[in-house]
Amino acid sequence: MKKRLIQSVVATSLLLGSGAIFAKSLDDLKAVNFNQEKTKAAVNASHEEDVDENRFVSFLNKVDNKNFEKEINQHETQRFKDVLRKEVKRHKKALAKAPKEFMSGLNNVILTLHAIRSNKINEAKKLLKKSDADFNVAFKENPKLNLIPVTDTASVVSFNGDVKLIKWIKKSAIKLLEKNETQLAIDILTPLQDELTLTTQQVPAYLYPVAVKQAVKDLSAGKKDAASATLTDVLNLTQINTVIIPIPLLTAEGMIVEASKLNKSHKKEVTRLLNMAQEELQKAVLLGYTHKHSADYRDINKQIEAIKHGVKGNNMIEKYYDKLLNSFKTLEKKHEADVKVKKINK
């Protein structure tokens, strides 16, 4: 079965000046760049006589092929892009919205810093006055403002291979490790990523009014270096939240949605989609994305089995689809809750 494309970065950015979100098109598909020669060397060093070796080399060659998109089933590709768009949209919707007054004040803080460094002190004072007014309005309407998202990006790395290929790669890596070929084992494992990474940069909103007031005092006292340092420090206080969502989970959900829209008379196609969804879930397991939520994955797989059984008979299965899709949504939210936090204060 032809599989979906390997993609590089697809990003959405929340601009500091306006707070508006702009998305780079998911239609711009590109291949992930692996070190082809090193990875092929790892394959050869594994000395694993298996038909999958040829499949793996073919997989690597496809990554380098400029025309590889033409070899992919367009329906599969569209489904892949649709599930990514859906998840990115859901993530953006869940983010706290930055009040326009706060973003205006933040932009003026940045402009103030440039003015101070250009020795335009009067201009800097006027900008600080505008920032102070903006922050007062923002906090009057939103007194509990805390962390505000200022950038939001989504990056995608997708594995173009099936369950059998994943098992072969892992088996070969183990053989390499047993021969102390650790670096080659790393090379052969490098392609085993199938994930959507959502990264949000946040700033501590509550510190900005304090910093602005301090900068006003410093400038009034002729301490422009102190004012510059105060504003620089607050601008450098950021928190990076990173969430990793397994693409096989999203793809499996897309296949279930597609199956749910088909009449039971299309038993062959429904069964094919359900089987494909189960294979995607198995990929998530083999790629190591399910450890924390393994029970949820097992439950979803059982629900798919129940629907497959219902399709064969005369049972009403619509309600089973509803329950299953709710289970997918619940599991996706659990993955989003597994946020990794990195605080930066340069």
Phi, psi of 256 (to 5 degrees): -65, -40
Cα Rg for the chain, rounded, in angstroms?
26
Identify the H or E element spanning 259. helix 247-260
Enter the pTM of the model. Answer: 0.75
Count the domains in the chain. Answer: 3
**213 and 66 both lie in a single domain:** no
Would 71 be classed as within a structural domain? yes
- The pLDDT assigned to 39 comes to 56
Q: What are the DSSP E strand ranges found in 63-183? A: 147-157
**Could you tell me the two tokens for 170?**
């892992």
250 against 41, higher pLDDT? 250
Identify the H or E element spanning 197. strand 195-204
Alpha-carbon gap, residue 86 to 152, rounded angstroms: 15
Would 118 be classed as within a structural domain? yes
**106 and 93 both lie in a single domain:** no
Would 88 be classed as within a structural domain? yes
**50 and 172 both lie in a single domain:** yes
Residue 16 has pLDDT above 50, yes or no: no
- The residue-averaged pLDDT of 27-35 equals 41
Q: Are strands 21-23 and 340-345 parallel, antiparallel or unpaired?
A: unpaired
Alpha-carbon gap, residue 341 to 243, rounded angstroms: 9
Residue 14 has pLDDT above 60, yes or no: no
**14 and 156 both lie in a single domain:** yes
**73 and 161 both lie in a single domain:** yes
Domain that holds residue 22: 1-98+147-199
Would 79 be classed as within a structural domain? yes
CB 6: neighbour CB atoms within 10 A? 25
- The pLDDT assigned to 267 comes to 87
Would 345 be classed as within a structural domain? no
CA-CA-CA-CA torsion for 25, 26, 28, 32, nearest 10 degrees? 140
Would 240 be classed as within a structural domain? no
Q: Which of 215, 235, 255 is the last residue of a domain?
A: 235
- The pLDDT assigned to 172 comes to 86
57-61, Cβ contacts within 8 angstroms, sequence gap of 24 or more: 59/160, 59/161, 59/165, 59/191, 60/34, 60/36, 60/191
**66 and 13 both lie in a single domain:** yes
Residue 244 has pLDDT above 70, yes or no: yes
**253 and 296 both lie in a single domain:** yes
- Give the range among 128-132, 153-157, 242-246 with minimum mean pLDDT: 153-157
**296 and 271 both lie in a single domain:** yes
Residue 315 has pLDDT above 70, yes or no: no
**210 and 191 both lie in a single domain:** no
**42 and 128 both lie in a single domain:** no
Q: What is the DSSP secondary-structure string of 303-325?
A: HHHHHHHHHHTT---HHHHHHHH
Alpha-carbon gap, residue 320 to 303, rounded angstroms: 7
- The pLDDT assigned to 20 comes to 26
- The pLDDT assigned to 9 comes to 31
CB-CB contact of 188 with 172 (8 Å): yes
**175 and 308 both lie in a single domain:** no
Would 343 be classed as within a structural domain? no
**Could you tell me the two tokens for 207?**
């510190």
Would 346 be classed as within a structural domain? no
Share of the chain above pLDDT 70, in %: 77
In a 13 Å sphere around the CA of 134, the CA atoms on its Cβ side amount to 21
**172 and 215 both lie in a single domain:** no
- The pLDDT assigned to 99 comes to 86
- The residue-averaged pLDDT of 261-273 equals 87
